[in-house]
Amino acid sequence: MTSHAHAPAADPARKGDARLATLLRFLPYLWPADRPDLRLRVVAAFLLVLLAKAALLVMPFAYKALVDRMAGPPAAGGTVAVLVALVAAYAAARFANVLFDNLRNTIFERVGQEATRNLATHVIAHLHALSLRFHLDRKTGQLSRIIERGTKSIDLMLYLLLFSLAPVLIELAAVLVIFGTRIGAELVVATLAMVAAYALFTWKVTAWRSELRRRTVELDNRASATAVDALLNYETVKYFNAERLEQARYGRAAGAYAEAAIRSENSLALLNIGQSLLTSLMLFAGMAFTVRGWADGRFTPGDVVLVNTLLLQLFRPLDILGMVYREVRQGLIDMEAMFGLLDTEPEIVDAAHARPLKVAAGTVTFEDVRFCYEPRREILKGISFTVPAGTRTAIVGPSGAGKSTIARLLFRFWDVDSGAIRIDGQDIRDVTQASLRQALGIVPQDTVLFNDTIGFNIGYGREGAGEAEIEAAARAARIHDFASRLPDGYQTLVGERGLKLSGGEKQRVAIARTLLKDPPILILDEATSALDSATEADIQDALDRLGRGRTQIVIAHRLSTIVDADEILVMEEGRIVERGRHAELVARGGVYAALWALQQAEAAAAGG
């Protein structure tokens, strides 16, 4: 009961602390410790802010002097040259204000861009460090929107805090000093009261609007994720004639976002009206006070103009102050979401004592490995086997038996729940992930390519590979002739996820990529599953040549591709139920023999 009673009161404080913490995390990007040149730019930009404000404050005094001289008889006003000089001073001050503002932007631009680049690079690097589990649970569309908004926010907030909020405070202080020394304490009190009322009103309404905005952002993320998900699965949508279903799904998501956006924009109208009412009342009060003083002989007509001009100049940044507050709050929300990504702890990290993997022979050992993606469903139930260096071990079994999980665990996308995986006696949890994955090569069942050229996708296997090396790998993978026949050759774009290529072509690109990497340990996860029989024979020959002298783990569906394996492991429901060579397993008449007979019958039926 007590904890529930106190929880609501603590929430605003926690939110405030979270916003402050976000702001403090953002400041190092503004003042980078390792970049004195950027720090110098920040200082220079702020000095230009002061010069711009000084020029802005000169304008009302030049205007006042001009009006006072023109208010009396022409002779009392001095020569025309003096009046023209005052006009020139007014114009020069106005130009100087614009000049200093733009010089400030020019000097500061590199700071903002570097801050944005560093933060975006940091986020992308961190996302790559997160586990596969994280990426399977998140939608790509949502992640891209969070990163986009967060990185844009840091550049915007740099400008708002440095060049909008700080100048407003400087100008307010200057105006209060001028009013106090030249007009009277009454106007100082009235100005302070108006600014306080304006700030309070803006804060209250903006706090209300922020919740509307947060909801709008959530619905925007959802709509974007729905659209991206449908586009990434374009072929599936077409297969099932589901265009109308996807349109309806996106329509509902977009409709919910539109309603939230309408409420958010309407609330902005209320904020603008309230702010304008407060500033208009202050302008009336200030002008009325000055006009009354003029009637009493205390002020000149120029003083009326001075107060009018100073208040109007103050109102402009005050109007911006409302926007600044809204944008800073929204920026903090966006950055909070992005920093939330940075705060997500990687599930798989290098141990403090981790050293580079040393592959002497390439023996792979699984020792009583148990693993589950979630506690209620165990995938591997005590798997033990050894792949001696330079040999070929095949893993077969029905879908869901845990075959592909073995490959993922070997790459250390997850850690085993119990047991150990060793390479040449080294527990893979005790070596660096980079060195582990450098020693492994894989041709996966589902090949996903970058939306780039064929040459780029093959060259991705080894950074810095030359054209001759890429072509050699392509020849070995039997894709060189295909690429050469294309109008753009190796510069041909493969499309989103490689959709412009057939399944066999994509798989041959993946094989070429692995050939180029030239790892000591190979994992072939149904590497020829998308190929026709003739092409499969060519590729199998290339894979056989590649595998000579290397350790191979072959996850196979077509048993005909692994009949010459040194050992075949047969899996069912997360356990190894049979092991041996092809002839032994067929003769045994067990699970493998049944699978072999079924596939032989299917092949005979297809041939007939």
Could you check whether 356-439+520-608 and 446-518 share the same CATH topology? yes
Q: Is 52 within 8 Å of 101 (Cβ atoms)? A: yes
Sign of CA dihedral 314, 316, 317, 318: positive
**To 10 degrees, what angle do helices 467-476 and 533-547 make?**
120
Centre a 10 Å sphere on the Cβ of residue 599 and count the other Cβ atoms it contains.
Answer: 14
Which pLDDT score is estimated for 1?
A: 38
Distances (CA, A) of 69 to 179, 236, 308, 386: 21, 80, 18, 100
452: buried, middle or exposed (CB in 10 Å: 19+, 13-18, 0-12)?
Answer: middle
HSE (side-chain half, CA atoms, 13 Å) at 544: 12
- If you count them, how many residues does the chain have? 608
CA-nearest of 422, 358, 415 to 384 is: 422
Tokens of 151: 């990185």
Tokens of 548: 């000579």
Give the C-alpha separation, 13 to 274, whole Å: 27
352: buried, middle or exposed (CB in 10 Å: 19+, 13-18, 0-12)?
Answer: exposed
Q: Domain 23-343 belongs to what topology?
A: ABC transporter transmembrane region fold (1.20.1560)
**To 10 degrees, what angle do helices 185-232 and 301-343 make?**
30
Give the C-alpha separation, 110 to 108, whole Å: 6
CA-nearest of 449, 447, 442, 461 to 524 is: 442
Element (H, E) at 367: strand 364-374
> pLDDT digit string (tens) for 396-412?
988 778 888 898 899 99
Which pLDDT score is estimated for 3?
A: 39
Q: Helices (DSSP H) in 233-298: which residue ranges?
A: 234-239, 243-295
> pLDDT digit string (tens) for 310-354?
888 887 777 666 677 777 777 777 777 788 787 778 778 888 899
Which pLDDT score is estimated for 602?
A: 77
CA-nearest of 102, 3, 124 to 49 is: 102
> Got the DSSP string for 105-155?
HHHHHHHHHHHHHHHHHHHHHHHHHS-HHHHHHS-HHHHHHHHHHHHHHHH
Q: Is 562 within 8 Å of 538 (Cβ atoms)? A: no
Superfamily of domain 356-439+520-608: P-loop containing nucleotide triphosphate hydrolases (3.40.50.300)
- Domain boundaries in the chain? 23-343, 356-439+520-608, 446-518
In one letter, which amino acid is 440? L
Give the C-alpha separation, 399 to 376, whole Å: 19
> In the chain, what is the straight-line distance between the N-terminal and C-terminal CA atoms, in Å?
76
User: What's this model's pTM, rounded to 2 decimal places?
Assistant: 0.63
Strand 440-443 relative to strand 521-525, pairing: parallel
CATH number among 3.90.79.10, 3.30.420.40, 3.40.50.300, 3.40.190.10, domain 446-518 = 3.40.50.300
Q: Is 112 within 8 Å of 42 (Cβ atoms)? A: no
Distances (CA, A) of 14 to 10, 22, 199: 6, 12, 22
Which pLDDT score is estimated for 322?
A: 63
HSE (side-chain half, CA atoms, 13 Å) at 298: 9
Q: Is 194 within 8 Å of 186 (Cβ atoms)? A: no
Centre a 10 Å sphere on the Cβ of residue 546 and count the other Cβ atoms it contains.
Answer: 22
**To 10 degrees, what angle do helices 140-160 and 80-129 make?**
150
Tokens of 113: 């861009």
Which pLDDT score is estimated for 217?
A: 80
Centre a 10 Å sphere on the Cβ of residue 102 and count the other Cβ atoms it contains.
Answer: 12
Which pLDDT score is estimated for 357?
A: 92
CA-nearest of 167, 199, 175, 196 to 310 is: 175
Longest Cα–Cα distance of the chain, Å, equals 124
Give the C-alpha separation, 57 to 143, whole Å: 46
Centre a 10 Å sphere on the Cβ of residue 253 and count the other Cβ atoms it contains.
Answer: 19
For residue 375, the 8-state DSSP code is T
Going across the sheet that includes 551-555, the strands are: 440-443, 521-525, 551-555, 392-396, 567-572, 575-580
In the chain, count H helices and then E strands. 19, 10
Give the C-alpha separation, 318 to 555, whole Å: 67
Give the C-alpha separation, 5 to 10, whole Å: 10
Tokens of 11: 């929430």
The CA radius of gyration of the chain, in Å to the nearest whole number, is 35
Point out the residues of the chain with pLDDT beneath 70.
1-19, 72-78, 131, 133, 135-142, 319-322, 497, 527-539, 542-543, 545-547, 606-608
Give the C-alpha separation, 602 to 556, whole Å: 16
